[in-house]
Chains A and B, each alone.
Chain A
């Protein structure tokens, strides 16, 4: 944005790009995980008997949300190392 990318070395651009990939890519999954855990806690609070079912489903959902961050991480690795 405010950086003159044209004047930078390829290695520097690569590192900045990798850091930006994981930085921006981590925002969405962080929000998703927060919302997911909040909803699960509310559900357990309302219906404590369903704790096991809610927990299992929550962990699967968290894994799916976290996967987005992992994709960004893989992309950052590819940018950084390839």
Chain B
């Protein structure tokens, strides 16, 4: 059985110099669905919620409880990003299991110009390790399969089965983590006390911090892409259904882990030691919530990561 597998998201068509890939189409579908549900839920909010609004309030309240248990008194400031990441990744992962994703094939719009596809802005940026050397070391035996692969490409591909998508979100998390650290401690204070405190291990700390977005994005990408491949390989009746249930669970777990890890790293970066309560700059309503209990036990997970 020839399994269609490509590490890189394929181009559907070209929009000027920008290649529109099948993963991008899938992420737009996710965005449109989320926006439609959001507008429907918030159009006429009622005090006693019903229907869509009720469902959304349930999700938001559950997430809020989770965020508050970790972030403490500034949970309302970090909540929008964490909840957005969670809801978006969850819906994207679950939409990847919808019928038609990866199975509807279209003709590749530029079969003859396969090498030009490597110069596109979005394709070449992150996934350059994947597609570029693919042509060169291919032995003669694999050549027919590779050519067949280029002719028919799936119209839809899971949004998170593209490194560009997940690395983009990972970089957003990275910026958010350190921006919140700098907002709480001040830019120089954050660099001096949190990054460069034991001066000897600052390079190691820098490497660890740089690895956070890579780790976040590779985890999500590997899970979603691996799930897609698993479902393709296990494409028998009944068995595939069992793996579908597993994928529903994994999609939820990965969405949780991505958002919760962002939250924990943010809490660690914005952590004010109990003795040094320097009236947290601009942080809302310092109502003396003992938010440090959660940090104390969560901080070691940062070091162990």
Which residue numbers of A lie inside 8 Å of B, CB to CB? 9-11, 53, 56, 59-64, 66-67, 70-71, 73-74, 77-78, 81-82
**Complex CA distance for A72 and B264, rounded to whole angstroms:** 25
Task: Assess whether B175 is interfacial by the CB under 8 Å rule.
Answer: no
* Beta-carbon contacts under 8 Å, B174-230 to A: 215, 218-219, 221-223, 225-226
- Contacting A at CB under 8 A, from B2-58, are 5-7
Given A74-B218, A74-B222, A78-B7: A63 in contact with B254 (beta carbons within 8 A): yes
Number of B positions contacting A (CB below 8 A): 31
A interface SS class: helix
Is the C-beta of B105 less than 8 angstroms from some C-beta in chain A? no
How far, in whole Å, are A71 and B223 apart by their CA atoms in the complex? 10
Known: A59-B256, A70-B226. A81 touches B5 (CB 8 A): yes
Instruction: Determine whether the beta carbon of A64 is less than 8 Å from that of B218.
Output: no
A77 near B219 with CB under 8 A, answer no
Tell me if B133 counts as interface (CB < 8 A to partner A).
yes
Interface mask (B126-148 → A, CB under 8 Å = 1, otherwise 0) = 00011001100101011000000
Q: Is B261 in contact with A60, judged by CB distance below 8 angstroms?
A: yes
Which of B66, B221, B225, B253 contacts A63, CB < 8 Å? B253
| Nearest 10 CB-CB pairings of A with B | A70-B222, A63-B257, A67-B219, A74-B222, A73-B222, A11-B139, A70-B219, A73-B226, A60-B260, A81-B7
27 residue pairs bridging A and B, Cβ less than 8 Å apart: A9-B139, A10-B137, A11-B139, A53-B69, A56-B66, A56-B69, A56-B260, A59-B253, A60-B264, A63-B253, A64-B257, A64-B301, A67-B215, A67-B219, A70-B218, A70-B219, A70-B222, A71-B219, A71-B222, A74-B221, A78-B129, A78-B130, A81-B6, A81-B7, A81-B130, A82-B129, A82-B130
Q: Which B residues between 49 and 94 are near A, CB-CB below 8 angstroms?
A: 66, 69
CA distance A70 to B224 in the complex (A): 10
Among the listed A11, A59, A60, A66, which residue makes an inter-chain contact with B142, where contact means beta carbons less than 8 Å apart?
A: A11
Does A82 contact B226, Cβ atoms closer than 8 Å? Answer: no
Does B305 count as interface, using CB distance less than 8 angstroms?
yes
- Whether the Cβ atoms of A11 and B134 lie closer than 8 Å is no
Which residues of chain B are within 8 angstroms of A78 by Cβ–Cβ distance? Answer: 7, 129-130
- Smallest distance from the beta carbon of A49 to chain B beta carbons, Å? 15
Contact B133 A64 (CB under 8 A): no
Contacts of B6 in A (CB 8 A): 81
Q: How far is the CB of B165 from chain A (nearest CB, A)?
A: 15
Which A residue sits closest to B223, measured CB to CB?
Answer: A70
